[in-house]
């Protein structure tokens, strides 16, 4: 078996000359939708970058982003990762099963890139070409330190509120 990660799909909707689009019919998997898409139906290639960041954090942590419980709190994986990262404990996010397979610097690189991809503001997210470069090379991820933790939209609670408003 060779697992592969495929396109999340929103980017395929674009014509080559269009960078941003809006829809009134929001569809997607809760926990993977970028905030601007989940709240306003605005999507771009950066929406797929956000989804990739969530997936990267899931791979590193071994946890799903389906609103897991951490202690008594219900968090998204992004909020949990930012909390650990801001406390200089990013490696605490790593799945123990990865400990013998990867160096800590590789894991931290994946966490840094995942957090960059999952920025609230699409303009702060890297392009997929930049993501590939950062994952393929040992580079200084200064952008993570410059941006730091943000007011991350907790999509778990966002979707719960939207469902209550509809019913």
User: Is 127 contained in some domain?
Assistant: yes
pTM: 0.70
Confidence of residue 104 (pLDDT cuts 50, 70, 90): confident
As a dihedral over the C-alpha atoms of residue 140, residue 141, residue 147, residue 151, rounded to 10 degrees, the angle is -150
Q: Range of 29's domain? A: 10-166
Lowest mean pLDDT among 25-29, 120-124, 162-166: 162-166
Question: In this prediction, what percent of the chain has a pLDDT beyond 90?
Answer: 19
User: Is 4 contained in some domain?
Assistant: no
Count: domains in the chain: 1
- CA atoms of 143 and 124, how far apart (whole Å): 9
User: Is 97 contained in some domain?
Assistant: yes
User: Is 5 contained in some domain?
Assistant: no
User: Is residue 49 within 8 Å of residue 126, measured between CB atoms?
Assistant: yes
User: Is 3 contained in some domain?
Assistant: no
Query: Is the model's pLDDT at 130 over the cut of 50?
Result: yes
Q: The domain that contains 66 carries what CATH number?
A: 1.10.510.10
User: Is 156 contained in some domain?
Assistant: yes
User: Is 1 contained in some domain?
Assistant: no
User: Is residue 57 within 8 Å of residue 114, measured between CB atoms?
Assistant: yes
Q: What is the pLDDT of residues 47-56, one digit of tens each?
A: 889 989 999 9
- CA atoms of 144 and 116, how far apart (whole Å): 6
User: Is 54 contained in some domain?
Assistant: yes
- CA atoms of 14 and 3, how far apart (whole Å): 26
């Amino acid at each position: 078996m060779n697992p592969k990660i495929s396109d999340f799909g929103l980017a395929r909707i674009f014509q080559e000359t269009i960078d941003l689009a809006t829809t009134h019919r929001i569809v997607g998997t809760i926990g993977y939708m970028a905030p601007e898409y989940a709240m306003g139906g605005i999507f771009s290639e950066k929406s797929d970058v956000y989804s990739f960041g969530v997936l990267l954090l899931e791979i590193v942590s071994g946890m799903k982003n389906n609103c897991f419980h951490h202690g008594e709190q219900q968090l998204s994986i992004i909020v949990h990762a930012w909390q650990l990262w801001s406390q200089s404990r990013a490696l605490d996010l790593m799945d123990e099963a990865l400990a013998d397979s990867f160096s800590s610097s590789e894991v931290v690189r994946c966490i840094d890139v995942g957090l960059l991809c999952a920025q609230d503001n699409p303009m702060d997210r890297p392009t997929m070409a930049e993501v590939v470069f950062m994952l393929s090379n040992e580079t200084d991820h200064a952008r993570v330190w410059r941006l730091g933790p943000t007011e991350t939209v907790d999509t778990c609670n966002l979707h719960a509120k939207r469902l209550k408003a509809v019913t």
